[in-house]
Amino acid sequence: AAGMAAPTMEERKACWGARDEFWRCLDSRGDDAAKCEKLRRAFEARCPQQWVKYFDKRRDFLKYKKALETEGYRPPEAAGKS
């Protein structure tokens, strides 16, 4: 299966570049994914599906970690009631 081949350095750079642009867009628009849809599509087109899933999880984790550092820990049941 051609899709399973490891990406070349060029492909990895294209993927990471697309991810960084997409993430920058999200950062500047308060995570409004609708406003970054074109960049999201480019990110998905340039990265293997597994990577997209991984980076999505990674972003959520990094955001969570940052929130912990800036706001401190909140118990999960309190988080939903904003």
Q: What would the pLDDT profile of 50-73 be if each residue is shown by its tens digit? A: 999 999 999 999 999 988 998 887
Residue 48, pLDDT score: 95
As a whole number of angstroms, the distance between CA 37 and CA 78 comes to 31
What DSSP assignment string belongs to 17-43? Answer: HHHHHHHHHHHHTTT-GGGGHHHHHHH
End-to-end Cα, the chain, rounded Å: 47
pLDDT beneath 50, residues of the chain: 1-2, 82
In this prediction the pTM is 0.76
Residue 1, pLDDT score: 42
